[in-house]
Structure 1
Amino acid sequence: MKKTAIFAVLFLALAASSLYLDRNFKYPFDTVNFSLAENQPPLGKYAMFDLSGIVFGVRKMASDIAWIQVLQYYGGSEEEAKHKHDKECKEHDHEHCMDGVTYGSGSYFDLQKLIQRVVRLDPYFYYAYMYGGACLTWNLNRPDEGIAVFDEGIKNAPNYWQFTIYKMAIVYKKLDKYEDMVGKLEEALKYPDCPIMVKAMLANIYKKKGNYVRALKLWLEIYDLGQTDYRERSEEEITELRKMTGL
């Protein structure tokens, strides 16, 4: 009788816990729509492993394994990576193999796809975006691929401002890409928690592109925020821009 009572209490406690978790637990990852191209595994040879991780609910673990493979790939010999890629080109007739611009001088061709593989398994693996985007841009001189990585990060975590700042740095590297970023930064300014640094970077872009009126307006807004770190800089910019605009 005593054992039955204990069992009943444990059963009720387990049932109550299950009911509570079912109502209150939010799965951290959204349901994946595999019909969308952006959700397809970026590398076919890992597709079965990646899809298994998603289907069986172990995306975080699968992403960690994929990240280790990134470090093994990028930390290995560049010549070895190039040789492996050239061999795959001969076997599979890759369309990109003859495209010298896309190939990026033959250096670690698959790095972007390997990074995208990691973050599509775990969209909240923020370090992977920053590591991959920075390596692609500054180490391998493939800024367009770096921008693509940060765009994916911005889409998955729009309030994680480091992605926008890194992307801005890439835009500064590619001067002819300024206009592509202005719209995104203007949208970012609408958020009440937008970092002041983003506003200052946008003001600098407008100044470089000759839109002195908009640049002046942004520096005035920065000055009005009263932050000590930007006080002297904003005063200098406002003085200079007022001379340029006559305002």
Structure 2
Amino acid sequence: MRKIFICLFLVIVLIFINLVIKNPVGLYDEKYSIFIHRLPLEKYFVVDSVGFILGLRKFVSDIAWIQLLQYYGGSAPEEHCCSEGICFTEDVCHAEDYFEHITKIQPGKYKRFIDYCRRVVILDPLYSYVYFYGVGSLAWNLERPDEALELVDIGLRNLEFQKEDANSDYWELVKYQQAIYYKLGGKYLEMIDKLKEIVDAGKAPNMVKAILANLYKKYGRYEEALLIWEELLLSGDPEYVERAKKQILQLKKLIEQKI
């Protein structure tokens, strides 16, 4: 038993050394031919390392996903909330509706969002939903399309073995890539059409559907926006139910005024 603990300790030390010098960890996933690169979030190093060593990567990746949602669902950690010279803790100053901000444009916030995404897909490279959710958030809510494309590239490398299947997540991720390039090129109508194609495929997170609904509203396509918000309301997703109710009322008024 003592020898086992010594070996485990030595493995952890070797991984730590690799992390410090910013080299690949040196673990190799034979099943998917993926090298495991330096873990992106130092504070989760112990948990993530244990996941690798004990073969619990999928379990730890689910925990990492929840932590990503907690990070993105709360106030941006880099923000400070002060009133009359007094600064408050994150939960006290978080006066905005907990979920509503997820569908708003917030450039410059949540600076480590991509690291949270990278952490999940390092643990589970086939966690496609994280690519879709992360890319959508980075490209349209956080206004960091360069980081979104970086995450796309990671996903395409990890999902490359799916290329022969036209309905695979690999090609779904390519659609996100195309939509981002349309955005960068100022081709917003083409971008909207590509996002519609993504939503119609049935794999899009509700957050991406909300992004498309907001874009429809922005360009005066109220009926199409209304259909999406009605769908989100029926989904029962607690992140969107209340916001869907508000948007439905607003859109119905706008449609009446339009007539």
Give the TM-score range, shorter chain: 0.3 to 0.5
Identify, as 1 or 2, the structure richer in helix: 1
Give the TM-score normalised by structure 1.
0.47
TM-score if structure 2 supplies the norm length? 0.45
The structure showing larger relative contact order (alpha-carbon pairs under 8 Å, at least 6 residues apart) is: 2
